[in-house]
């Protein structure tokens, strides 16, 4: 066999190996996707909504973390928590979406807020300590 024949055989053999690896990878990824679906995870592969849902969750977490930091600063400056979230936003002049955030001032030294979404992510505050919370029910005063 000449040089050309050896080159063609090498290319065919390499293509066969690469094709086999790609096929095994596709089967593996499909099994992972099926496994996640059977575990109760929402099937969203290939859906254009999936990245949007994920981005929304990240935005909610960022807004809650920002509010948490603002609450601590407010407490340090005033020695107590605000009566409403609007009061906090006016004080800090931050632009945070609070339309789905529920807030309760339990006392001068404790408060709770949470987002009205799946898992009720939020924070409880006691003195200058913020504790992240989530669960099946909205968090209650500490």
What CA–CA distance (Å, rounded) separates 123 from 93?
20
What CA–CA distance (Å, rounded) separates 22 from 12?
15
Phi, psi (degrees; rounded to nearest 5) at 113: -140, 155
Write out pLDDT tens, residues 107-141: 999 999 999 888 889 989 998 888 999 888 888 88
Q: What is the pTM of this model?
A: 0.60
What CA–CA distance (Å, rounded) separates 108 from 134?
23
Write out pLDDT tens, residues 27-50: 777 766 555 554 444 544 555 557
Closest CA to 98 of 81, 86, 111: 86
| 40 torsion bin: left (phi>0), alpha (psi -120 to 50), beta (else) | left
Q: How many residues are given for the chain?
A: 142
Residue with tokens 């789905």, as numbered in its chain: 100
Query: Residue 28 corresponds to which tokens in the numbers above?
Result: 């593996």
Residue with tokens 């931050």, as numbered in its chain: 94
Write out pLDDT tens, residues 48-95: 557 777 788 888 888 889 889 989 999 999 999 999 988 988 888 877
């Amino acid at each position: 066999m000449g040089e050309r024949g050896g080159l063609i055989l090498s290319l065919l053999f390499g293509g066969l190996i690469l094709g086999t690896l790609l096929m095994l990878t596709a089967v593996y990824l499909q099994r992972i996707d099926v496994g996640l679906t059977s575990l109760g995870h929402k099937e969203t592969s290939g859906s254009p909504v999936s990245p949007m849902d994920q981005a929304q969750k990240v935005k909610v977490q960022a807004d809650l973390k920002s509010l948490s930091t603002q609450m601590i600063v407010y407490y340090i400056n005033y020695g107590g928590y605000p009566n409403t979230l609007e009061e906090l936003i006016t004080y800090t002049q931050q632009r945070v979406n609070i339309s789905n955030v529920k807030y309760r001032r339990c006392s001068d030294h404790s408060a709770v807020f949470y987002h009205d979404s799946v898992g009720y992510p939020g924070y409880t505050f006691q003195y200058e300590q913020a504790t992240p919370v989530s669960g099946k029910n909205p968090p209650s005063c500490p």
